[in-house]
A and B are shown apart, each in its own frame.
Chain A
């Protein structure tokens, strides 16, 4: 009977419906019929940041004693909240206020309790400690722990309006190791090599900027281009003048919005691919599970809006050795493959046949048919491949009377070696029978070279040289200016010390080397170094070891067992001891490249 008293009925019906709905709330809203499903924990991590801790900088408290003022100033220097150092400057007065320049570099300085001296005019706080490292403007961390530089750092204070203030402070930022650990992130920035075929890592310490995400920070650093140590050794594929406009998470991916100059690489497929790989591999450190979308001024780029994942660029993998590597060793002048189950068979082709007494083999790659370079009995470098009917070809002959260092392959398929001729150091590289001379920096032009190894990414070289003070390990970039090869500025990784012998050096990957050394104090040890920041690991005992080869964390060594010739040892990291892999005259174990 809707026709009569319509609105009333209507209201009554609405009320009934509401009451029913309200009553219905008592029934189960959450479905009671459920089946067990895998309960994946919801990720609580910030899509653009790894978690980090910041020091809170606070301005000086009224009436604080000198030591609190200095501690507060050091805390303000360690704080990343304050990009313009306004709070830190509140601790300063006089000359320090005008001359203190936080941009002039970072000194990492670990000290004990300060010594406090005060007189009528003011107070001086003196810290005594070791300079652990420096960080330059390129973010290059330079470890100085081994150098063991002891220094006094003094802060002069005086009273201004009844409050203590610092009037003389050491230049730049003075941070402790803990501060650096907290306020800096260690990241690998990847740049394509000169051929844009794979990526070369540049290890940098980047100050956390809380006002932007770490993704943003890393991309900005990439846009700045490679630092001094790698400049010209790698290419910068990001178009000049490109700016990052915006970073935003979008579900499982992260959007990078660039300014319009990015669009210039749209038509260059190779470059685009290199840029994508560079971004993907660099950002993998912060957002491992997420893909990347590139946008230009908010428009998807390239236009199909596809996402970038590091898994899509396996050939760019900066770690060129992955997984368990095939290893090789020499026994009786013949190359064997390490394969315990098969009884360490000889390789195919000429290297597996007894021809000449080859020593110091080097393998060009991970594939089965890779090429082998070795030193012949005549001191020249011969190359053969591990295929049937192969033969040894002489690639680098060297000058008569000189000695060539053991050969080393780079990733481009060239063999490298160094040569000592009276008073002159020459470096050779060869893609075939015709060797090419490589320019070396002047400071080692007359040094004595004992070993030369090209890094697995082909961007750096490590050498054992002796300029007269004793052997030292020096590393530097290989600069490839359109075919003209040159070794860039070398940095000393292991300094010469008295009565220290450096026996061998081997690359673990693109950035780390293992150095085998012998000193009176410590005996024969091997030490892993990071080429980029100079940090070293605890030296480990390596008695009886004479040659060494590394691939990632695997380590092989050729040693003398005292009996019939040598043996091949492998380092067991868990037990921290050497394990014998092959005996009976086995020697000179080698992993591909490095």
Chain B
């Protein structure tokens, strides 16, 4: 209603009507609508996987016309974008989380890449540089346009991206997590710039997990949950604040999607103290800050945090320093300090890590089921250097039965299995190493509901066997349903620790989106 009122005041520049986008077996967007008026900043909020990025990909032509249903009306005309170029030509530019700049080229070269001004067939560099200077002035970047991209920071690169979009006389700018990689000052500058563009009639659509920023700059907010539009809020008229947004984002009831489980929790056996890790490429960036946590036997410990908060970085750096540069921190297992310098050290000390990226980090997709299952501890079925085929087969068969891995045979290639069954193979691979502590990073990502339920059962069974489980998940209901205790992570630091019985989505989301550090004891 408020939007309609505003529409009367300001012309609607972009309207997406009833957008539905399906992937094989998954409905990523269902009947989503979005209305953006000229010269406004429109934020899109939702949990990870709610469908925000998919919606923006539909808008920018990454998913071309015909692969989705619904209409996009831009400046009063029905538009059918067939790729990014055609949406850019119309005046819609998207700036991705991962910047699409070429590090070895200069600022000018990047701005005009694919759009070079020419004179008699040769690039007119004088004109290009002149235009580049004007554009850089508009975005408030005072660097020499001949500077190579790799020599400027991420914040400035973001500005170059915007300059590049401005050069294409953009009407609607889409920013996907624009401040995720930026520090406080750079973020502020960027937000100011977006506000400035608004004054010049350029609308921005902004996806961000940082709710305080949204509250600060957005004029209206559309909330998406599970691929559906939940509501569109007018920031000023509806008196929106962070709590209001969070309620919209998580406001679903917890269904009984979890198997019955009575936790049997023992003593603390694994402890991380004051863990500090640097980014592997950017040393000044800390990806894990002073984090401490502990795990009891038989306990499922959840880690909640938004994408990029440092959950995976924390887990992988503990698992044999497989991510980032280890700075300081100590690990204790059964009261004894241990040092895990490599992944094989970690495996030998009874740790297992199931990666969030099953295909890139979890499996060798060229391999078959049986070879994948035994791959993390071949020594267990080998005599000397020789692998025992028969034992391998027997072990693979037993996991296939106990985890109900659906495959025509254990000789089948893992690439032929569905996501859920691939994940079971990965779980089998780590269960085979007989770990005491399992770190599961998004174990149910991209998996259908039935397989999820089975994986929940496996996780609970592992805990009942007295193993410690660390469960990293973006889905709050999953954490609340499975975990006994939940740590929240924000910007690399642990911000809270709550007993799952006492937690609710709102409290978790608050600790996940702000550094308000509370004293926690558990």
Are A and B interaction partners? Answer: no
Seen from chain A, the residues whose Cβ lies within 8 Å of a Cβ on chain B are none
Seen from chain B, the residues whose Cβ lies within 8 Å of a Cβ on chain A are none
